[in-house]
Structures are given as C-alpha cells and as structure tokens.
Amino acid sequence: MISSDTSSSRYLALNCAEERIQVVLGTAREVMFSEEVHCPGQSIRHLPTAIERALRVQAIRAGDLAGIACVRGPGSFTGLRIAHAAMHGLSRPHAIPMAGLHYPDILAAQAGPFAQGGELWVLTYARKGQVYIQGFDAGAPLTPVRPLPVALAYEQLEARPAGIFLLGSGLRKNPEFLTLPGTIALPQILDTPMPAALLAAACAAAYSSHPPQPLYLRKSDAEDNLVSIAASRGIPAAEARKHIPDFE
C-alpha cells in the first residue's frame, strides 16, 4: 500500500456517483482546479474532457500526478464504471497510484460542522424506490452503507433518537423524508461534495498500484431488464445470462 503525503504533491479526484461529474486537482494545501457538470447519464461525454482541461490549465502531464482517486460508490452503476475506467486508463501507462473513496464518508465529513450534537444520516438516491443509507455519529459510522426501500429507510430513521440530521439526494428525490418528526434536513448544497472536501479525501487516501473495486450494492438496470433486452436482440435469456457474472 502506498501512503499519500501532505506535501505539494498533486492529486486528481474524480466523482461520477450521481448526476454531476466532478474533477478536482490540487494538493493537500489548495484546490488548483475544479469542474462540476450536471449531466445525468452523460458522464462518458464530459469526464475525459474535464480531466484534459484540469491537466492543461495547470500545465502538467498525467505522469506528474502523485495519485488518482475516484469515488467507488455507492451510486450510479454506469457512472462508477466510467470513473474507474478513466482512473485506470490514465494510471496504467504512467504507473500512477490509485485509490477509492467512500461516498457517504465524504458527505458526512463535510457536513460534520453542521450536525453537532446528533446523529447524521446520509441518504443518496438509488433508483427503483430505494436509497443508500448510512448513519454517522461524530464522524464515525454507526452502520454499514446499504440499499433500502424508501419505506424501510423511513421506519429505520423514525426509530432513531430525536434530533438527528439528514442529508443527501435521497431526501430530495423522496420528500417524505423531509416530514420525518424529530429530524433536521441539512442544506441541499451539502448533498454534493465540495471541491475541497473531495480533494481532502483524495489526499488522505491510501494508494496502491492496484485499482480499487467499485462499490456496487444493487444490480444495474441492464441486469434487472435482461430478459427484455435479450429478447429485443433475439438472444435467449439463458444465453445472455451466461455473459453476466452473478451480482452476489
């Protein structure tokens, strides 16, 4: 394992977990470049050009980077794959160390100063009537992150002590969470990592020559719709299934 340092080494951080792509370049001391694009389902079009701009604006080569980190999840299946592919593709020819970042940890860390004196629960949108949910207390995880149907997540939060704080895209997509008694919804601006928070996570990460594994907690839509997709292409579902490894 390669440890990151706190010097002037430059790190690149990528996030495609939700509807926005984020590219941040900088050191432990400062953000040197930041770009965010709201592009649902279009990260493959915008991520490579944003990375190219980051390097060009700072007049550095990919090989000058001390490390590349990307959010490993949970989040959009396609977005996570694209971010990891971009990181691996940039790293491989230059032997740049890589690291994976846990999305709820970043959101909880930046929201910490706004959630003093109570539990903080991060809920991000998971589609199919679900949210990814994880609780924190004073920055330490209370639970592992997991996908839950909205109704079950609501019940879990309803059973928590009064005065808990909530944040994340799961609140905005499922406004019933905003009516939970005894809870405080943090400002929507905290639902997305700020550049400094994303870069701080990247600078503090543990780097390796091996790419991190994406954190997939639910099947992709393609897997859920395999039968209809295969039928539209004239392929037996059983044959198509052989080309997709078991999710579990």
> What CATH number does the domain containing 60 carry?
3.30.420.40
Is residue 92 located within the same domain as residue 113? no
Is residue 12 located within the same domain as residue 88? yes
Is residue 79 located within the same domain as residue 139? no
Residue 62 lies in a domain: yes
Residue 11 lies in a domain: yes
- Torsion, Cα 226 146 14 112, to 10 degrees, reads 160
Is residue 133 located within the same domain as residue 53? no
Residue-wise pLDDT tens digits, 215-240:
998 765 555 544 554 456 677 756 65
Is residue 16 located within the same domain as residue 53? yes
In the beta sheet, which residues pair with residue 20?
38
Residue-wise pLDDT tens digits, 59-101:
999 999 999 999 999 999 999 999 999 999 999 999 999 999 9
CA distance 78 to 63: 27
How far is the CA of 128 from the CAs of 131, 147, 178, 190, in angstroms? 9, 10, 19, 24
pTM of the predicted protein model: 0.87
Q: What's the pLDDT score for residue 3? A: 46
Is residue 35 located within the same domain as residue 10? yes
Helix (H, G, I), strand (E, B) or coil at 247: coil
Is residue 58 located within the same domain as residue 138? no
Who has greater pLDDT, 224 or 248? 224
Residue 116 lies in a domain: yes
Q: Which of 195, 202, 169, 152 is nearest to 17 (CA)?
A: 169
Q: How many domains does the chain have?
A: 2
Is residue 34 located within the same domain as residue 67? yes
Is residue 122 located within the same domain as residue 210? no
**Structural domain range at position 73:** 2-102+193-232
Q: What's the pLDDT score for residue 247? A: 38
Residue 164 has pLDDT above 60, yes or no: yes
Is residue 187 located within the same domain as residue 112? yes
Lowest mean pLDDT, pick from 29-33, 132-136, 243-247: 243-247
Dihedral sign for Cα 27, 31, 189, 163, please: positive
Rounded to an integer, the average pLDDT of 136-145 is 96
Residue 244 has pLDDT above 90, yes or no: no
CA distance 189 to 108: 13
